[in-house]
Structure 1
Amino acid sequence: MDNYTLFFSVLLSLLPISELRGGIPYAYFNGVSLFIATPLCVLTNALVAPIVYTFLATFHRIFHTHWKWYASFFDRFVARAQRRVYPKVNKYGYWGILLFVAIPLPITGAWTGTLGSWILGLDKRKTMMAVFGGVIVSGLIVTSLVALGVGIDSVFIKRI
């Protein structure tokens, strides 16, 4: 295990497409134990929600104030999204966000869950808790799939 592998695992866990679905397997197949890879990638991927909220709030405020075309486009986009998606979000609530983030498939991760919650104007703190719960479940699923894919006995033994 070297610092490059850990750095790249963290980077993969922060990126929108790969998230921890890429970080955990990358770390493991480059010699990092799942006992280290899973918590590292889960905690890194959990940072996505506050990063996204901070980024979106800052840039949205700047863009919405200075660019009228952005304000017009964004307001129409949000109104349309709320009409189409809000009944489902209202029905399933934050449990729906947790389950959406927990599914370890492309576009169903912390980035999309947080972005969708922000667009719909959902509570920031509750969203972050739901996203964190989903990231934990997703991390456990990915870790289990990696463990089953290579054999349980070899997961906990240091690779040579």
Structure 2
Amino acid sequence: MSKALFISFLVSMVPLIELRGAIPVGVGLFAAQNIEMTPLTLVLLFVTCMVGNMLPVPFIFLFARKFLEWGQDKRVIGGICRFCLEKGHRGGAKLQEKAGRGLYFALFLFVGIPLPGTGAWTGTLAASLLDMDWKKTCISVISGVLLAGIIMLTLSFTVASVAS
């Protein structure tokens, strides 16, 4: 079981895959290793994936914007850094305009609905580019990851139960 949890932990830290992919991977590894999916094993998988998904968040919030701003003038990486900054600023302005005072709730929903490209990495980067408050951003992202985790765990467990 520890191997399945370790792999799930690592997968949950990968951008774009994150917890959304790590939970189904963990459930699949449990099934492949004939590990019974008790409530305790599912909670352990959930917590492991949550921790793995949230671990990069402070680094993204504190350093990603600085790196992109630093890199926008560099020859090799300048284009991608400028693209990310411009896209982030445009998207952020639209989000602020539409969300208004509900910006943190919008961030929660953005992170919490398990679709490709809407996880903690992207949400935290957007919050950093928008100069959003660290504590409120953290609460929104953690809450969003919790919601996404509950959705993915429910779907993964249901599919695994039907398949067996």
TMscore range, shorter length = 0.7 to 0.9
Runs of 5+ unmatched residues, structure 2: 36-40
Distance in 1 separating the partners of 2:42 and 2:99: 34
Shift of 1:81: 4.0
Shift of 1:85: 2.9
**Residues 99-158 of structure 1, C-alpha deviation per residue, up to 9 Å, x if partnerless?**
111111111110111111111111111101100000011111111101211228x7xxxx
- Alignment map for 1:111-130 (pairs within 5 Å): 111-130=121-140
- Alignment map for 1:110-149 (pairs within 5 Å): 110-149=120-159
Give the paired residue count: 151
SS of aligned partner of 1:121: coil
Distance in 2 separating the partners of 1:109 and 1:21: 8
RMSD: 3.0
Aligned equivalent of 2:23: 24
Distance in 2 separating the partners of 1:83 and 1:135: 23
The percentage of aligned residue pairs carrying the same residue is 34
User: TM-score, normalization: structure 2?
Assistant: 0.76
Shift of 1:97: 0.7
User: Could you tell me which of 48, 59, 66 is aligned with 2:56?
Assistant: 48
Shift of 1:78: 5.8
Shift of 1:53: 1.4
User: TM-score, normalization: structure 1?
Assistant: 0.77
SS of aligned partner of 2:67: helix
**Residues 13-36 of structure 1, C-alpha deviation per residue, up to 9 Å, x if partnerless?**
011111111111111211263121
| Aligned residue type for 1:110 | A
